[in-house]
Amino acid sequence: MPHTQRLSAYVLLGTAAAVLVAGGSCVPRLLAAEEPPTVLVTGSSRGMGFELARQYAEKGWTVIATCRTPKQADALQALAARKTNIIVEEMDVTNEVEIEALATKYQNTPIDVLINNAGIFGYEDLQSFEVLDYETFVQVMAVNVYGPLKVSQAFAEPVAASELKKIVTLTSGLGSMSLTEQRGGYYFYRASKASANIIGRTLAADLRDRGILIGLFNPGIVNTDFLKWTSYAGPTIEPAEAVTKLIGFIENLNQENNAVMTNHDGTTMPW
């Protein structure tokens, strides 16, 4: 069965097991084999994206794992070789042509959960009050803001056609205006996550009539390559733990916490 279609499959069992014998009569028995749910994850080549692909594959989901350069994603390719329910696709979240092409490919595939995981921090010393590098600002905003918005727009119909209908974007406490007063710096990353938050709220309004729920989740400071952009040296959360909490959040995403910025400990974060 092609992965680009979600069908309910019905299997007619063989003669020995296909009939129910009652009073000498034989009744054919049809068993329904439902397709597993589908998740699309951006930025799947490393870090939380890779762990999301792994954990969802272990749960039996069909995983569409996207990344910028699949040929260089050795760990992801090796995982996909072991897990046949992982499909690796090329998609740069800043490339509108690639996004539209992949959305067209999967236009008839219901996508239960879309996870906007791809993101960058930008070098810390290029977004300080003393040094503001414009090119870094553009790059961070392109990946962290335009990417989730464009991907959500392009895949809205496949998500709406699914059973779960959920779009989730990873955010950060650094995008909270209320918490910003605790310390300065990180101008570009902060601006990008604050923007991602308002975009999530706006998507919730635009997609409400299609039954789509929007999740905004802060995974905390996770021990991934993401930290190489910063001078942070404090405690971190391991990717496996962070992703387990994220999947739990997604499972519990409902109308009450729709488009609410939620921390990894389950509490609501201030805007």
Mean pLDDT for 40-51 is 98
Structure-model confidence comparison of residues 16 and 109, the more confident one: 109
Same domain assignment for residues 125 and 19: no
pLDDT of residue 183: 80
Same domain assignment for residues 176 and 255: yes
- The closest of 237, 215, 243 to 52, measured between CA atoms, is 243
pLDDT of residue 110: 98
pLDDT of residue 164: 98
Asked, for residue 269, whether it belongs to a domain, the answer is no
Asked, for residue 268, whether it belongs to a domain, the answer is no
For residues 265 and 262, give the distance between their C-alpha atoms in angstroms, rounded to a whole number: 8
Q: What is the pLDDT of residues 55-107, one digit of tens each?
A: 999 999 999 999 999 999 999 999 999 999 999 999 999 999 999 999 999 99
Mean pLDDT for 25-36 is 54
pLDDT at residue 24 is higher than 90: no
pTM above 0.85, yes or no: yes
Same domain assignment for residues 102 and 15: no
Asked, for residue 5, whether it belongs to a domain, the answer is yes
pLDDT at residue 28 is higher than 90: no
Is residue 90 classed exposed, middle or buried when 0-12, 13-18 and 19+ CB atoms within 10 A define those classes? middle
End-to-end CA distance of the chain: 45
Q: How many domains does the chain have?
A: 2
Asked, for residue 111, whether it belongs to a domain, the answer is yes
Q: What is the pLDDT of residues 113-141, one digit of tens each?
A: 999 999 999 999 999 999 999 999 999 99
Asked, for residue 82, whether it belongs to a domain, the answer is yes
Residues in the chain: 271
Domain boundaries, position 28: 1-35
Instruction: Express as a percent the part of the chain with pLDDT over 70.
Output: 88
Give the pairing type, strands 30-33 and 9-12. antiparallel
- DSSP, collapsed to helix, strand or coil, labels residue 64 as strand
pLDDT of residue 19: 29
pLDDT of residue 180: 87
Asked, for residue 271, whether it belongs to a domain, the answer is no
For residues 11 and 221, give the distance between their C-alpha atoms in angstroms, rounded to a whole number: 47
Same domain assignment for residues 161 and 28: no
pLDDT of residue 22: 35
